Structure formats: C-alpha cells, structure tokens
Copies of this chain bind each other. A is one copy, B any other.
Amino acid sequence: MKKKITLKQIAKELDVSISTVSKSLRNSLDIGEETRLKVQAFAKFYNYKPNNIALSLKNRKSKTIGIIIPEIVHYFFSTVINGIEQVANENGYSVIICLSDDSFDKEVLNMEMLANGSIDGFIMSLSKETQFKEDFHHITEVINQGMPVVMFDRVANEILCDKVIINDKQAAYDAVQSLIDKGRKKIALVTTVDYVSVGKLRTDGYTKALWDNEIPFDENLIIKIEDVDTCEITIEQFLKDKTIDGILAVNELFAVTSIKAATKIGLKVPEDLAVIAFTDGIISKYATPTITTVSQSGIKMGNKAAKMLIERLESEDSDDENYKTEVIETHLIERESTEV
C-alpha cells in the first residue's frame, strides 16, 4: 500500500539535503529538533528504517522489556520470567516474551521483530542452535546499535554485554562432593548430548570433584541421553551393567527416570543409590522419594537480570561498556533421594 522510499526521495520531499536526512535519522544534534523529528516521522511513515533501533532508543518510552527464551514448557525458564516480571513491574516496565524454540532462525526473527521499536532492551538465553552455530551477529548488532542486552544462563563469552549466570561447574562440584561426603564412591553423571554451554561446565565440576577426592574418573559412568523417550531403558540397562551408588542428573526428568529405573530392577533409593538433580522444579518436590536438587534460583536470576537491564536503560551514560557478569549462588535442597 505504501510506496517504498529512498533517502534521496525523503530529502527531495522535505526540501533538505541528503546529509540532513541521514544525520536526522541518526538523531544527530547537528540538526535542529523540528527538522529531525519531521525527517524521522517521514522515514517512519514510509517504513524507511536504516537505523531503527538507535532511533527508537532516543525516545526510550516503550518502557517494555523483551525476553527471548528457548522454550516455555520448562520450569527453570518460567521461574526466571516470574523473577523478571517482579522487578519490571515494580519499576513500571511491561514485559513481552518470545520463544526461540531452540532455533537460530526464530531467535533472529524474534529479535528483529522486537528490536523494531516495541522494546527498550533484551533479556535472553541462547537457543541450542545458536550455541552450536556460534553465530551471534544478531545480538552484537543490536548491542552495537545501542540497545542493551542482558544474557542469562545460556550465555556466550564472545558477546560483550551484562550477564547473569550460575556457577555450573561449582554447583556440580558441590553436588558430587555431597554424595562423596555421604560415602558414595561410584557416581554416575546422567547428562545430554547437546551444545549447551552449561552441560560442559557441569561435566567439568563432576570430574573435578572426583579428582579432588582421588576417585578415579571413569568415562563409562557418564551417560549421555540422546533420546528422552528411551531414556528409562537406557538408564535401566546402564544400572544393570554397572554397579553405582550415586547419580548426578543434569535435570529433574533424568533424575526421576533414574529413580524409576532403579526401583524397577530392585535398587532402593537412597539406600542403594543416592540421586541429585539439577534444577529445583515441581517433579523433584512431588516425586516419591522426593529428590535432592541443586537450586538454580530462577527467581533470583530473573530479578538480577531485570535490575541490570533497567539500571542500564535508566543510566545517564548509556554507552558505558563496563559490562558485568553476576553469579547467582546455588545451593543444595536436600530431600529423601539422598537421606539415608
């Protein structure tokens, strides 16, 4: 319906120089306010958006935070969102959520859509595919144009921005140490085969705890679950083949499934097999036995991420490149699966 317009045409239409148009679109103070606003309005009306993010930033009045998370049927991400909502609402900000569905393309498209004037800044956790591809151009571009981004949980070192993480390595270390303290010596790690940064860190923590306690590391005690649907059979077979007395599972689902498989072949939890899960969700709380978990403090993580973003949005010095990485404390919530 609307005609496409070029920089040149805007200049002609408004009887100003191309340089004036260009500078106005960059909101340069070289150009008087009246002209700047007129040029911007025209450009906007004709969908001419060379520098759209930077433009929308100058008025910063959407008072809206955009969240991009990989998936929604996931207790941890849901609690982070609740944590963000709390702080956002206290500070008069609205929150918009988009899902990347662990797809790189969807992450890029959603960022583009939201950056387009709807929001003031992002809080995000990377999709698995983005972590695998290691292509972060869509995020660095947004940051370079002056829109603040706070990353949480699944972050990338290559991206210069504020981050909120848990110390996954230390958390895994502490969990394995607590199993060793309870006299467990043959401890398995039930994990995934993905490219998510946290997976590697948790394996490192597991390995280091064994090492520090002079327990020989056995690669065969790391179970990489390829297919969640057959995960119970995989674990059952593993428990038949190996004699172990402890399990650290990287998520609740693997933990509860390990308990089911163990019970099926006559092992008692926690007597024969102690189990600890990452992520304190509803399964752990309502399973029988209830499951000891590493609390990732999703609420705290969300609170902190929102605080960091809002501080940046409301700071005088919006070009401050002094980025911080906040580490949220984790702790073990001890339940029946480790108490003998």
Contact = CB atoms under 8 A, between A and B. Distances in A.
Interface of A: 1-2, 37, 41-42, 44-45, 59, 64, 72-75, 78-79, 81-82, 85, 89, 94-99, 101, 106, 109-110, 113-114, 118, 253, 256-257, 260, 282-283, 286-288
A84 B137 CA distance: 28
15 contacts: A1-B59, A2-B37, A37-B45, A41-B41, A41-B42, A41-B45, A72-B72, A72-B81, A81-B99, A95-B99, A96-B98, A286-B286, A287-B287, A287-B288, A288-B288
A98 B109 contact: no
Contacts of A73: 75, 78-79, 82
Nearest to A110: B94
Contacts of A98: 94-97
A109 B94 contact: yes
A97 B96 contact: yes
Contacts of A74: 78
A99 B113 contact: no
Contacts of A106: 89
Nearest to A257: B286
A113 B64 contact: yes
A96 to B, nearest CB: 5
A208 to B, nearest CB: 30
A130 B72 CA distance: 24
Given A72-B82, A283-B283, 14 more contacts: A2-B37, A41-B42, A64-B113, A78-B78, A85-B99, A94-B98, A95-B98, A96-B96, A97-B98, A97-B99, A282-B282, A286-B286, A287-B288, A288-B288
Nearest to A118: B118
A118 B114 CA distance: 9
A286 B114 CA distance: 37
Nearest to A3: B37
Contacts of A89: 101, 106
Nearest to A114: B96
A42 B41 CA distance: 8
A268 B95 CA distance: 46
Given A41-B41, A73-B78, A286 B256 contact: yes
